[in-house]
């Protein structure tokens, strides 16, 4: 069979299966991320049907997927909202880092993966999935709840931390010197500061550059700008993902709204490929040995995220039921955790078992997060009612 024909057949099969998995996820009310990862495990080396003819396409497509994920995440915020969110949530953000990065770092050290592995695993367990959380809050009709701004503030802080963390991680994985690492952080801080200033004062000009009434022209300009910025950021030793995120922040107003609508189908397509590629690069046989560690991390970090949301909501004077909802909403991990693990694995600076652990952990948390958000309210109400009954006289 001609090589091109084989590639088309394999690629068509992957897209079709992804569509089936996405529909299945929608029917059972869960994020499609776990199913995409499982699909990658089935198609990769050691899986049920190994695919070998589409490596070139999937490699660049997965990179585009990361860029689009972060670009659309940036489009959700304005620079002013980021600054306000940072002022409001920095204390909760610090608590979030301490409670949720520590378990992952500790497990990495216990497994003998060293400081680099600890830095990677700390990021994987720390960052919540903005995509899953936003979808769950929308599905449950909680976007107008009093605790939702607290949840969003914590997510904004996490995104800002990622803007600093990813360049540091990239420098460490690249084996640069301490001075080189400081330089990378300095460049990152400088770029972030410049972009925020531009977004605050001149965001309308950035929006005007990419805007167009013609949908096709708008899409081409937007995607081209995103890839250019991501490439330049990567060349400056700032993560391409961070570059896309900062571009999204700089685009504001109706342009940002229109950009989200235009890019969402592309984001969903390329992001799905990204998750599949991560699964393709993970040997399914490597998961059972780390499954115990993944379950332990899932249990611990579920409670630490709930504790983070509870504490943050309490500081804003929100009642106990709202605190419980805020905590449960933050449980899900997903795209960012896989991005971090993907960077580490592709750099070859960590053990292959880390990819297996990250895959198992995200599979568990992407399923557990939406479930926790759904069941926390009836469970909390039931507990509250029992306490009231027990406290009643006679």
pLDDT tens for each residue of 166-187: 777 877 777 766 566 667 667 7
Indicate the burial class of 189 (C-beta count within 10 angstroms; 0-12, 13-18, 19 or more). Answer: middle
Number of structural domains, the chain? Answer: 1
pLDDT of residue 371: 84
Average pLDDT of span 365-378: 83
| Domain membership flag for residue 387 | no
| Domain membership flag for residue 57 | yes
Mean pLDDT highest for which of 42-51, 58-67, 263-272? 263-272
Check which CATH number belongs to the domain holding 174 and give it: 1.20.1530.20
300: pLDDT strictly greater than 90:
yes
Tell me which of 104-113, 188-197, 202-211, 245-254 is least confident: 188-197
pLDDT of residue 305: 95
| Domain membership flag for residue 199 | yes
| Domain membership flag for residue 45 | yes
Cα Rg for the chain, rounded, in angstroms? 21
| Domain membership flag for residue 323 | yes
Higher pLDDT, 34 or 1: 34
pLDDT of residue 349: 61
pTM (2 d.p.): 0.73
Tokens describing residue 141: 């009709």
| Domain membership flag for residue 282 | yes
284-296 pLDDT per residue, tens: 777 888 899 999 9
Higher pLDDT, 248 or 283: 248
Task: Quote the domain boundaries for residue 40.
Answer: 13-349+357-382
1: pLDDT strictly greater than 60:
no
pLDDT of residue 109: 93
Higher pLDDT, 35 or 325: 325
132: pLDDT strictly greater than 60:
yes
| Domain membership flag for residue 8 | no
71-108 pLDDT per residue, tens: 887 787 676 766 676 677 788 889 999 999 999 999 99
Per-residue 3-state assignment (H helix, E strand, C coil) for 271-312: HHHHHHHHHHCCCHHHHHHHHHHHHHHHHHHHHHHHHHHHHH
| Domain membership flag for residue 1 | no
pLDDT of residue 201: 76
Per-residue 3-state assignment (H helix, E strand, C coil) for 101-119: HHHHHHHHHHCCCHHHHHH
Tokens describing residue 2: 């001609």
């Amino acid at each position: 069979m001609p090589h091109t024909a084989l590639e088309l057949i394999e690629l068509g099969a992957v897209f079709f299966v992804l569509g089936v998995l996405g529909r299945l996820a929608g029917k059972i009310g869960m994020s499609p991320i776990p199913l995409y990862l499982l699909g990658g495990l089935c198609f990769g080396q050691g899986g049920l049907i190994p695919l070998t003819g589409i490596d070139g396409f999937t490699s660049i497509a997965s990179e585009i997927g990361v860029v689009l994920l972060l670009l659309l995440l940036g489009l959700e915020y304005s620079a002013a909202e980021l600054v306000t969110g940072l002022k409001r949530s920095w204390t909760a953000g610090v608590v979030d880092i301490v409670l949720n990065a520590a378990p992952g770092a500790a497990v990495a050290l216990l497994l003998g993966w060293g400081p680099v592995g600890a830095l990677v695993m700390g990021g994987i367990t720390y960052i919540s999935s903005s995509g899953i959380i936003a979808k769950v809050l929308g599905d449950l009709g909680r976007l107008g709840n009093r605790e939702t701004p607290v949840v969003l503030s914590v997510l904004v802080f996490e995104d800002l931390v990622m803007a600093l963390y990813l360049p540091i991680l990239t420098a460490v994985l690249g084996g640069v010197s301490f001075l080189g690492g400081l330089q990378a952080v300095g460049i990152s801080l400088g770029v972030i500061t410049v972009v925020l200033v531009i977004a605050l004062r001149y965001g309308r000009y950035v929006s005007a550059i990419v805007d167009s009434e013609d949908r096709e022209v708008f899409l081409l300009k937007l995607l081209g700008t995103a890839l250019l910025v991501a490439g330049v950021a990567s060349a400056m030793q700032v993560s391409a993902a961070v570059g896309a995120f900062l571009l999204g922040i700089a685009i504001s107003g109706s342009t940002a709204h229109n950009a989200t609508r235009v890019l969402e189908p592309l984001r969903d397509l390329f992001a799905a490929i990204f998750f599949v590629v991560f699964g393709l690069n993970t040997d399914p046989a490597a998961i059972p040995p780390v499954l115990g560690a993944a379950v332990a991390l899932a249990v611990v970090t579920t409670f630490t995220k709930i504790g983070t949301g509870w504490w943050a909501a309490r500081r804003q004077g929100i009642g106990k039921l709202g605190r419980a909802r805020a905590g449960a909403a933050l449980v899900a991990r997903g795209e960012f955790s896989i991005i971090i693990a993907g960077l580490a694995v592709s750099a070859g600076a960590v053990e292959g078992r880390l990819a297996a652990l990250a895959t198992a952990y995200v599979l568990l948390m992407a399923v557990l997060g939406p479930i926790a958000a759904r069941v926390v309210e009836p469970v909390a109400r039931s507990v509250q009612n029992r306490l009231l009954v027990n406290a009643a006289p006679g």
